[in-house]
Amino acid sequence: MGKGYAIAMIAVRLLHERDIRDSDGKGYINGKKYNAMWRTNTGCRRGLGAKPLHPMPPLSTLRSPVLSLVEVGRTAPGIREPDWSILMARTLDSDGAAYRRLLEEIAPHIRSLAAKWCRDPDEVEDAVQDTLLTIHAVRQTYNPARPFGPWLVAIAKRRIVDRLRRSGVRRERETSLTHEHETFPAAQANNPAEALERRALRVAIHQLPIGQRQAIELLKLREMSLKEAAASTGMSITALKVATHRGLKALRRLLAGGEETR
């Protein structure tokens, strides 16, 4: 009994020491193992990423408290790079500040990852936001005992591929609008060529003698009858007919002359 108790105590002590000891880049907080090192394996190498995004020094170089694990100087003095694994572990404990910091720090990395595949800056930003939303939705699937890098890259890769697939389908089915496709409520605004012709006609009518101009405006533009036009102008019907005939002939000449002079 006494011997068993002694063995048990030694085992407890060893486990306790394991909690505060560090080895091969892993830290232990309250018995949970946290990876303090970016492994450049699995997702990074096989997937999208190429470089280790965030190497961490062995924990032996760190000060002991938990906070010093989070905000620890890395390769160069003065640079404070938190360990995303630990930030994520703290996120799972509902630490909003750690979560905000994590998202702010990973967003540029996701952006650079997405920029390799998406050319459109809007697409890149959409991929970043999709990835952040997915991370939020599946954050409980992260295991703090495992490296954060492959988890992040796998999610980002999935979202980028989805976005590329969707945009490919959209490109096949849809045509983006150009200025020529733009329309306005006013009918005359939708045909610029017609508007130009109308303007040229108006200029030509203004060049006609007053009698012919009146006859054209009343009979052809306002579509009055000969009787109405005669009453309106005081001209005889025969004079109106002659003025209209001459006016149309002159207009034809003026408009044709305009084209010839081009």
* Residues engaged in binding another protein (CB under 8 A): 42-43, 91-94, 96-97, 99-100, 103-104, 107, 122, 125-126, 128-129, 132-134, 136-141, 143, 146-147, 150-151, 154-155, 158
CB 216 within 8 A of CB 206: no
Q: How far is the CB of 207 from another protein (least distance, A)?
A: 54
**Please, where are the H alpha helices in 47-147?**
66-70, 84-92, 96-115, 121-137
Q: How far is the CB of 46 from another protein (least distance, A)?
A: 8
Calpha distance 246→235 (Å, rounded): 15
Token output for 76: 């160069």
48-71 as b/e: b if 16+ CB within 10 A: bbeeebbbbeebeebeeeeeebbe
Closer CB to another protein, residue 27 or residue 147? 147
Neighbours of 177 (CB within 10 A): 9
Closer CB to another protein, residue 88 or residue 208? 88
Q: How far is the CB of 57 from another protein (least distance, A)?
A: 23
Closer CB to another protein, residue 42 or residue 167? 42
Closer CB to another protein, residue 145 or residue 221? 145
CB 32 within 8 A of CB 144: yes
Closer CB to another protein, residue 62 or residue 102? 102
Closer CB to another protein, residue 39 or residue 220? 39
Calpha distance 224→216 (Å, rounded): 10
Instruction: Return left, alpha or beta for 25; rule: phi > 0 is left, psi -120 to 50 is alpha, else beta.
Output: left
Token output for 196: 């130009």
